[in-house]
Each structure stands twice: as C-alpha cells, then as structure tokens.
Amino acid sequence: MTQPLVPWDSPEPLQGPIGVPLVDLLDRLLATGVVVSGDLVIAIADVPLVRLSLHALLSSVNERVPAPWADGGPL
C-alpha cells in the first residue's frame, strides 16, 4: 500500500496540526513584507467596461527604520 500524497487523503485520523499556525505565518509575512497585486475587469460581450487595479505593500512598522519623508509623514 502506498502513502497518500497529502495527509487529508489518508483513511486514518490526522495525528496533529498540519502546516504553520496562522499567527506565525502573519508574523513572518509582516516582518519581511508582502506585495499584493491584482486586477479585476468587468466586461459585457468582450467589451471591458470597468477595470480595477490593486497594488499594495503590507509590512510591519519599525521605529528603528526612519521614515522616507522628512516632515513626519503625509498625515
């Protein structure tokens, strides 16, 4: 009998958590930074009517790294 490729295909109950806890994953992502990018196009009969683009950088704030602007920020 061969082993299943993924643990959830096994007939036996799982023996513990699979993967990384969400808190650890978010901590690692925010420590290094993440870029989220996507496009959404709404079209009728192959004619694009609306296009939405999203480009975002998610990162944690660190007081040891100075801000790129001199006056304290845009707010």
Domain ranges of the chain: 30-59
Res. 66: pLDDT tops 80: no
What is the rounded distance in angstroms from the CA atom of residue 59 to the CA atom of residue 32? 7
d(CA 33, CA 62): 12
CA distance 1 to 11: 12
The pair of three-digit structure tokens given for residue 1, joined into one six-digit string:
């009998």
Question: Does the pLDDT value for residue 51 go beyond 90?
Answer: yes
Q: So what's the pLDDT on residue 5? A: 62
Residue 18 is predicted with a pLDDT of: 65
Q: What is the pLDDT, as a whole number, of residue 7?
A: 59
Higher-pLDDT residue of 50, 25: 50
